[in-house]
């Protein structure tokens, strides 16, 4: 781990959203366990939550968020923000360049891992001799489908340069004009050169419409512009995946940018040592093994009231015990919103075998409980991994962004879960759709496709729980980092 007595030192600089921070924490812990010195950059208000998950010897470096009009001081993660405020936080991040430059000069890490929002970081780190690794906390598929030069060539609004080659070296493809923004029809189709062996051949209207956000500007560079610049200018790209799970997409990305793509493996989190709260342990323990349907959409994904009603009525129709966790945008009274959203008389009808809760819960421990057998989720990558390692059948109800593509990866390429049927235009679903999806994996018996889905779910569960395989991912990744720095 050393060269001439010098230990490898890496810095971690995630975007200030806990869906991004958590994978950086998990990777930090993996690297630290292999003897690498880690410094973790974070705004002060997030440090307490971060420190509870990081190895205690990892140094946390506090950052100061510059004031931006409209951005309340002291609120420094997107979990507490409206979408508009989250865009202002990106503006504040861009204003941190002088602070980060000074900090890197003092810390002198060999490598800094950075997120998609940090497109200016390579130009700061390179003169200091620091390698920059763009760490995508998403699966490889979303990047292969969306954030690459080929996506612009698929745009019907961008036909003036049909001879553009791969990897793209045209500077204007990192600076979108309105005429080059892909349309909904464009985004329903994969980009040029997309792997032909993918099960994803098209998206629905509501999915493609949501993905147009990636190309929109809100006073600063779009997500697409930031992501393209990060990948174009970094020393190498890092993806939280592996060839076993996503080989075609990883190779496509490598071809697009003509530079190394390192894989960390799926970075399976260690089991949470904390005990499950007695309240939930006793309630879950009253039911048969693998009989409970657990439903949660994370801390930053929210359902409209009408869809909440269809969700809970659909679970009632299934006939199995269930636990639903629903959250609402910051500042709202979750209890009042939940009460208003639930159908009249619902809680009384299901009180013997159903619970609906708002607020934080111990998701990992609940999924690990022997009575939980199905996980209805928003198809966030971390949730998918947690569901699989805890032997839960996956029912996927994606709500935004990369979740739509994750859902198709699991249900299409892997055939290890099922998607809930949705309306083509607005993505809405009915209680019957939810009921059908859950019943197909929970009470489908030996009939196809239930048998096939269960077999594939078990295959990926065993793969993720194979300690030797997962440790080898980290060892190989560390070896590549050492080669990059000490060669």
Angle at 420 between CA 419 and CA 426, to 5 degrees: 115
Residue 466 burial (CB count, 10 A)? 12
Closest CA to 386 of 364, 370, 403: 364
* 421 DSSP assignment: P
Is the CB of residue 43 less than 8 Å from the CB of residue 62? Answer: yes
Query: Looking at 9, 20, 110, 378, which residue is catalytic?
Result: 20
The continuous run of DSSP H or E covering 22 comes out as helix 18-33
Let me know if 173 is a catalytic residue: no
Q: Which of 115, 186, 391, 413 is catalytic?
A: 115
Q: End-to-end CA distance of the chain, in Å? A: 12
Interacting residues of 321 by C-beta distance below 8 A, sequence separation 6+: 287, 291, 292, 293, 353, 354, 371
DSSP string, 227-245: HHHHHHHSSEEEES--HHH
Instruction: Give the residue carrying structure tokens 């393209």.
Output: 228
Is residue 431 within 8 Å of 317, Cβ to Cβ? yes
**Residue 324 φ then ψ, to 5°:** -115, 130
Per the annotation, the verdict on 115 as an active-site residue is: yes
CA distance 294 to 355: 10
Closest alpha carbon to 24 in 93, 115, 107, 110: 115
Rounded CA-CA distance 150/186 in Å is: 12
Q: What are phi and psi of 26, to 5 degrees?
A: -60, -45
Would you please indicate which residues are annotated as catalytic (active-site) residues? Answer: 20, 115
């Amino acid at each position: 781990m050393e060269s001439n007595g010098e230990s490898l030192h890496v810095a971690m600089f995630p975007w200030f959203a806990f869906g991004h921070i958590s994978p950086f924490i998990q990777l930090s812990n993996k690297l630290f366990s292999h003897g690498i010195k880690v410094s973790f950059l974070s705004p002060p208000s997030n440090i307490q939550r971060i420190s509870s998950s990081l190895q205690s010897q990892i140094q946390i470096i506090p950052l100061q968020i510059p004031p931006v009009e409209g951005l309340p001081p002291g609120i420094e993660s997107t979990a507490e923000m409206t979408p508009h405020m989250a865009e202002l936080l990106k503006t504040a991040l861009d204003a941190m360049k002088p602070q980060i430059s000074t900090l890197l000069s003092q810390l002198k890490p060999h490598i800094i891992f950075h997120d998609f929002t940090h497109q200016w970081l390579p130009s700061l780190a390179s003169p200091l001799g620091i390698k920059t690794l763009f760490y995508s906390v998403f699966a490889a598929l979303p990047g292969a489908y969306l954030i690459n030069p080929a996506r612009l060539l698929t745009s019907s609004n961008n036909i003036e340069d049909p001879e553009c080659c791969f990897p793209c070296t045209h500077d204007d493809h990192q600076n979108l004009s309105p005429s080059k923004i892909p349309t909904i029809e464009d985004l329903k189709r994969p980009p040029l050169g997309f792997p032909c062996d993918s099960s994803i051949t098209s998206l629905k209207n509501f999915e493609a419409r949501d993905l147009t956000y990636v190309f929109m500007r809100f006073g600063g560079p779009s997500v697409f512009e930031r992501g393209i610049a990060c990948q174009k200018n970094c020393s190498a790209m890092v993806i939280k995946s592996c060839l076993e799970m996503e080989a075609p997409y990883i190779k496509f990305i490598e071809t697009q940018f003509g530079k190394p793509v390192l894989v960390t493996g799926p970075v399976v989190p260690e089991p949470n040592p904390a005990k499950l709260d007695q309240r939930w342990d006793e309630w879950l323990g009253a039911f048969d093994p693998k009989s409970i349907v657990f439903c949660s959409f994370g801390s930053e994904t929210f359902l409209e009231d009408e869809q909440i009603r269809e969700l809970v009525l659909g679970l009632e129709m299934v006939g199995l015990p269930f636990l639903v966790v629903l959250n609402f945008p910051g500042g709202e009274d979750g209890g009042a919103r939940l009460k208003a959203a639930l159908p009249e008389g619902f809680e009384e009808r299901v009180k013997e075998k159903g619970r609906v809760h708002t607020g934080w819960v111990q998701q990992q421990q609940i999924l690990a409980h022997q009575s939980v057998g199905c996980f209805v989720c928003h198809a966030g990558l971390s949730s998918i991994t947690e569901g699989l390692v805890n032997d839960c059948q996956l029912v996927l109800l994606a709500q935004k962004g990369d979740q739509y593509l994750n859902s198709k990866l699991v249900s299409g390429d892997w055939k290890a879960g099922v998607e809930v049927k949705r309306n083509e235009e607005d993505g809405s679903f009915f209680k019957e759709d939810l009921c059908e999806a859950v019943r197909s994996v929970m009470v489908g018996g030996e009939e196809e496709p239930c048998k096939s889905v269960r077999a594939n779910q078990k295959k990926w569960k065993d793969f993720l729980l194979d300690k030797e395989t997962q440790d080898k991912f980290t060892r190989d990744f560390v070896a590549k980092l050492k080669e990059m720095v000490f060669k």
